[in-house]
């Protein structure tokens, strides 16, 4: 992917990895509609996978702290069906995290909600 090559090139040229970053998950619905030509929930699923990929890159790069803003208060005004999909993705993610406890402990990863 172009962005992976870009980051690797930056690092090869002496760029420093920041200690902390923040990720604001935004645009997954638009992405589903405009790029995937799919239902909004597919955009949310795709966004979750991108977040997982990004977290893996952060771990590989040695970032110490990552904050993720996944659901804003104004998102709670969305249709219940869409909220149910989001809540299910969040629940499934935390269930997955709980099963990977050894990985989290070995890499000194903490999840705060």
Calpha distance 58→66 (Å, rounded): 8
Query: For residues 25 and 47, is the Cβ–Cβ distance under 8 A?
Result: yes
Rg (CA), the chain: 16
- pLDDT of res. 32: 92
Share of the chain above pLDDT 70, in %: 100
pLDDT value of residue 33: 93
Pairwise CA distance, residues 65 & 39, whole Å: 33
pLDDT tens for residues 21-42? Answer: 999 999 998 999 999 999 988 9
Q: Does 97 have pLDDT greater than 90?
A: no
């Amino acid at each position: 992917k172009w962005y992976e090559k870009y980051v690797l090139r930056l690092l090869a040229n002496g760029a420093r990895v920041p200690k902390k970053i923040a990720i604001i998950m935004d645009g997954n619905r638009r992405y589903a509609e405009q790029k995937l030509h799919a239902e909004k929930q597919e955009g949310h699923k795709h966004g979750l996978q991108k977040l997982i990929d990004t977290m893996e890159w952060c771990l590989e790069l040695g970032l110490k702290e990552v904050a993720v803003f996944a659901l804003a208060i104004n998102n709670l005004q969305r249709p219940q069906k869409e909220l149910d999909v989001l809540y299910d993705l969040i629940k499934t993610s935390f269930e997955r995290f709980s099963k990977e406890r050894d990985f989290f402990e070995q890499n000194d990863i903490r999840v705060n909600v």
